[in-house]
Amino acid sequence: MTSKVIIIGATSGIGRSLADIFLREGYIVGLAGRRMHLLDELKNKFPDHVFPRRIDVAHASEAIDAFNGLIADIGGVDIVVVSSGTGFINKELLWAPEKETIDVNVSGFVAMSNVAMHHFLSKGAGHLVGISSIAALRGSSIAPAYGASKAFVSNYLEGMRKKVAQLRLPITITNIQPGYVDTAMAKGDGMFWVASPHEAAEQIYNAIKRKKKHAYVTKRWRSIAWLLKIMPDFLHNRT
């Protein structure tokens, strides 16, 4: 039986590159995002393998209904990747960008993960993949809501992993923490080790296939993560 995956946030960046890879590997792919014309491009290329659905995770209640509809359209799903996200450089601490970040990266992420988990719990198996960030490891002075929202994502995924372990169900939970990736999300000065969306997606796909609990993308960011974790506050506050 052909495996099925749904990618939330598939119109561009990592999500779109992941869709290309899953289609290359023969999966049935459900695509969710705000810009339907971009999803329809893949539908036109792979009419028998692509199921598009407009979902705006910033509006959680409507997104939940739409996601349940997409699962029904595709006839159930084996893997869900929640890749949608947003972030802003917000040195002035304006409320509007902070709220949008929380609406998408926290409320939207939980809404989509909640639907996925209920589906997996009902069928007794599945694989939830969340795209967090290296920014989850320490607070940010220039993008405080973004880093905090990604820390939420990582912590939530850990909670879901603990839940399925206690239930002894074969449900895999994968936390992906990318560094800099060349997408619209990549903002600010001093970026380094910037990966292409395709390079990042290939490593994420491999982590999914291996059912890893956690992966830094690209792999070299493991060393930066280690440094961030041990860095004393007086040094971190200077960066």
User: Where does the chain have alpha helices with state H?
Assistant: 13-24, 36-45, 60-74, 95-102, 109-123, 144-167, 197-209, 221-230, 233-236
Range of the domain at 181: 4-236
Q: Is the distance from CB of 33 to CB of 11 less than 8 angstroms? A: yes
pTM of the predicted model, to two decimals? 0.93
pLDDT at 220 over 90: no
pLDDT at 188 over 70: no
What is the average per-residue pLDDT within 179-196?
70
The 10s digit of each residue's pLDDT in 5-21 is 999 999 999 999 999 99
d(CA 88, CA 179): 16
Q: Is the distance from CB of 3 to CB of 11 less than 8 angstroms? A: no
- 13-24 vs 36-45: helix crossing angle, rounded to 10: 10
d(CA 24, CA 136): 31
pLDDT at 169 over 90: yes
Contact residues for 21 (Cβ-Cβ < 8 A; gap 6+): 201, 202, 205
Residue 235 has a pLDDT of 77
What is the average per-residue pLDDT within 198-222?
95
The 10s digit of each residue's pLDDT in 66-92 is 999 999 999 999 999 999 999 999 999
Lowest mean pLDDT, pick from 73-82, 90-99, 218-227: 218-227
Number of domain units in the chain: 1
pLDDT at 186 over 60: no
**Percentages (nearest 5) of helix, strand, coil residues in the chain:** 50, 15, 35
Contact residues for 47 (Cβ-Cβ < 8 A; gap 6+): none
* 131-157-151 Cα angle (round to 5): 65
Q: What is the CATH number of the domain that holds 183?
A: 3.40.50.720
The 10s digit of each residue's pLDDT in 36-54 is 999 999 999 999 999 999 9
d(CA 233, CA 129): 31
What is the average per-residue pLDDT within 125-147?
96
What is the average per-residue pLDDT within 125-151?
96
